[in-house]
Amino acid sequence: MGGGTSSYREIEETDCILLWGSNARETHPIFFHHLLTGVKRGARLFTIDPRRTSSAQWADVWAGLDVGTDIALAHTMAREIIVAGLAHNEFIREATTGFDAFKASVLPWTLERGEQATGVPAGVIREMAHAFATAPRAMICWTLGITEHHNAVDNVLSLINLALLTGHVGRWGSGINPLRGQNNVQGGGDMGALPDRLPGFQHVENDAVRARFDRAWGVTVPPVRGWHLSGMFEAMGRGDLTALYVIGENPAQSEADQHHAEALLAGLDILVVQDVMRTATAELADVVLPAAAGAFESEGTVTSSERRVQRVRRTKAPLGESREDLAIIVDLARRMGAAWPATDAEGIWNELRALSPVHGGMSYARLAAGGLQWPCYDETHPGEAFLHGRLWERPVRGPRAPFSIVEHALPVEALDAEYPFRLTTGRRLEEYNTGVQTGPYASPVRRGETIDVSPEDAARLGVVEGQRVRVRSRRGSVVAPVHIDAALRPGLTFMTFHFPDEVATNHLTIDAIDPKSGTAEFKAAAVRIDALDA
């Protein structure tokens, strides 16, 4: 099952936190409140991030690694833990598989080699490794700094290896946690909005699972996985995908290599967009279906980063002719000839509960106050604070957890004389994604798009704060004002993608795709910067 293994409360009671590729202070502010409670109780905080972010300001140690060297860092930590005799041998022996091959794969990663590969001093790597391994409880939390790379899944697996090596999973205060970037990115996956999953995280290529859905739905569910988002764009490029129905997404501005994405969307036979706002993608659409706002104008559920399923409710009437997504989809199905019965959000939810064992006990009545964490198997089950406790039963119940063999691989686009700067992208506190929802509110801290550069690079380029420059990658160019940020090291630059109508950052980003997850390498493009005259 894919989800953060721990509860927010656990980070308040842990002893060591690796915040890896995450600026949670700005991107998950209320989670960071819980994290700070832990820090104040004495937990050591390590932030691993190319930028010295506002999260890093709270850290005991900031490990400022070079973009895309996460696996090298994790491997070096793993080797240090093993050779220092700090691995949790009992857990490894009883609850995991593949340790010997894993050990062999990381043994070449000496502290010196790790320092050379990552830019993090050997002493810092050693300190992190020892602190993590020897802490009674320790957690790893990450965000898109881990997953928006061409080797996203391998990055995650390298962090899981660290948790398995030290037994820091499946216990209160120890766990591995992706902080989800959208209010229902966890729930969307749980509900089957993944190319290889049916609702309840059940694999579509599992015959027994599929048979149950076939019976419940009276249809034959296709027995093979579909395309992920990037796969869809590749299929558009090949001409295999010619009709697209986009619900609550703005791919015309959110996809990497935006020129390419726009051309593919424009080449579709039909594009249908269902959204709260008239997005840039909607401007390209043949049909626009105005949707009610999910969080404020619709009934349903969302699932958070601690696997907590909570109710969203209609707080006001939808604007104009907009309708709830459920009503639109049911109507569309009927127009296409399906005899779907009339139902409401609770009816759909109860259908899910009958098909997804981990949601079985979550009635609307039980979800009313504060929600429940999956798995929650039946109406008497209270939900589970953390996952994988079974790994601590002897003998282990069910399959053991496998170590993974992954290789360090630098970002697809290397720096060179023509494109000498590393561009990494991310969010700011007051904005959200392409600005569709945040644009309409007035924020006193909003300052528009900038290209953030280190003081050293600003001096070298001869540019000052606010000066407009042209930023160029192999895929496109934009003009943006310079912001000098001492949190950046020489060679590293940063932009958001919050203001695509003014500065289309994704004209610069690269659609180098992780073949396992379909995620693009938003975190690592190569760019050049040229000052513009006045």
Partner 1 sequence: MSQHDAIWFSLPPRATALPEAPPAPPRATVTVTVDGASVDVPEGATLLDACRAAGKDVPTLCYLETLTPVNACRVCVVEVAGARVLAPACSRKAEAGMQVQTNSPRVRTSRKVVLELLASSVDLSTADELTPLLAEYGADPGRFGAAAATVAQPVKDDNDLYVRDYSKCVLCYKCVEACGTDAQNTFAIAVAGRGFHAHISTELDVPLPESACVYCGNCIAVCPTGALMAKPEFTLRQAGQWAPERQTAVDTICPYCGVGCTLTAHVQDDRIVKVTSPFENGVTRGNLCVKGRFGFEYVNEPEAGD
Q: Under rule CB under 8 A, which residues in 505-534 are in contact with partner 1?
A: 516
Distance CA 508, CA 417 (A): 17
Query: Considering the complex, what minimum distance in angstroms separates the CB of residue 180 from partner 1?
Result: 3
137 or 523: whose CB is closer to partner 1? 137
Name the one range near partner 1 by CB under 8 A: 31-39, 73-81, 332-340, 484-492.
31-39
Choose, by CB under 8 A, the member of 306, 449, 452, 514 that binds partner 1: 306
Q: What gap in Å lies between CA 120 and CA 35, rounded to an integer?
A: 24
In the complex, minimum distance from the CB of residue 302 to partner 1, in angstroms, rounded to a whole number: 5
> Are 35 and 14 spatial neighbours (Cβ–Cβ below 8 Å)?
no
Residue 39's SS3 state is helix
Pick 36 or 330: Cβ nearer partner 1 = 36
Strands 492-495 and 421-425: parallel
| Least gap, CB of 433 to partner 1 (angstroms) | 9
Looking at the Cβ atoms of 238 and 380, the one nearer to partner 1 is 380
> Exactly one of 9, 212, 225, 366 binds partner 1 (CB under 8 A); which one?
9
Interaction with partner 1 in 142-161: which residues (CB under 8 A)? Answer: none
The pairing of strands 96-97 and 61-63 is: unpaired
Report the distance separating Cα 401 and Cα 47, nearest Å: 26
How, if at all, do strands 16-20 and 300-303 pair? unpaired
To partner 1, the closest distance from the beta carbon of 534 in angstroms equals: 28
| The one among 136, 219, 443, 459 contacting partner 1 by CB under 8 A | 443
Site for partner 1 in 270-299 (CB under 8 A): 276-277, 293-297
The reply to whether 247 sits near partner 1 by the rule CB under 8 A is no
314 binds partner 1 (CB under 8 A): yes
Helix (H, G, I), strand (E, B) or coil at 221: coil
Residues 58-117 that bind partner 1 (CB under 8 A): 58, 98
Applying the rule CB under 8 A, the residues between 403 and 432 that interact with partner 1 are 404-405, 429-430, 432
CB nearer to partner 1: give 113 or 400.
400
Total of chain residues touching partner 1, rule CB under 8 A: 89
The minimum distance between CB 219 and partner 1, in angstroms, equals 22
In the sheet that holds 138-142, the strands lie side by side as 61-63, 44-48, 16-20, 138-142, 175-178
Reported as half-sphere exposure (CB side, CA atoms, 13 A), residue 283 has a value of 8
- Residue 445 is a binding residue for partner 1 (CB under 8 A): yes
Give residues 325-384 in contact with partner 1 (rule: CB under 8 A): 357-358, 370-371, 375, 377, 382, 384
Q: Does 303 bind partner 1 (CB under 8 A)?
A: yes
Q: In the numeric block, which tokens belong to residue 213? A: 């859905």
Residue placing its CB nearer to partner 1 in the complex, 110 or 437: 437
- Separation of alpha carbons 300 and 314, rounded Å: 9
Contact between 394 and partner 1 per CB under 8 A = no
Concatenate the DSSP letters of all residues of 58-75 into one string: G-SEEE-PPTT-HHHHHH
What's the token pair of residue 311? 């109710």
Which of 113, 225, 311, 366 touches partner 1 (CB under 8 A)? 311
Q: Assign 231 to helix, strand or coil.
A: helix
Q: Tell me how far, at minimum, the Cβ of 22 lies from partner 1, in Å.
A: 11
- Residue 223 lies near partner 1 (rule: CB under 8 A): no
Task: Quote the tokens at residue 416.
Answer: 């060179």
DSSP label at residue 400: P
Scanning 86-94, 176-184, 228-236, 469-477 for contacts with partner 1 by CB under 8 A, the matching segment is: 176-184
Task: For the beta carbon of residue 438, count every other beta carbon within 10 angstroms.
Answer: 15
- We find the least distance from the C-beta atom of residue 384 to partner 1, in angstroms, to be 5
Give the binding range for partner 1 (CB under 8 A) out of 88-96, 279-287, 388-396, 483-491: 388-396
The tokens describing 309, both together, are 């399923």
Choose one: 6-14, 125-133, 332-340, 474-482; the region binding partner 1 (CB under 8 A).
6-14
Q: Which of 90, 344, 393, 407 touches partner 1 (CB under 8 A)?
A: 393
Instruction: Please report how many Cα atoms fall inside a 13 Å half-sphere around the Cα of residue 59, on the Cβ side.
Output: 26
Query: According to CB under 8 A, which residues from 179 to 218 bind partner 1?
Result: 179-186, 200-203, 205-206
Residue 113 CB, shortest distance to partner 1, in Å, is 25
Report the residue number, 422 or 427, with the smaller CB distance to partner 1: 427
CA dist 233 and 241 (Å) reads: 8
Q: If DSSP states are collapsed to H, E and C, what string results for 447-464?
A: CCCCEEECHHHHHHHCCC
User: What's the min distance (Å) between Cβ of 203 and partner 1?
Assistant: 5
Name the minimum Å distance from CB 470 to partner 1: 30
CA distances from 221 to 44, 143, 196, 330 (A): 48, 33, 12, 18
Residues 227 and 195: beta-carbon distance below 8 Å: yes
Long-range (24+ apart) CB contacts under 8 A made by 440-447 are 447/483
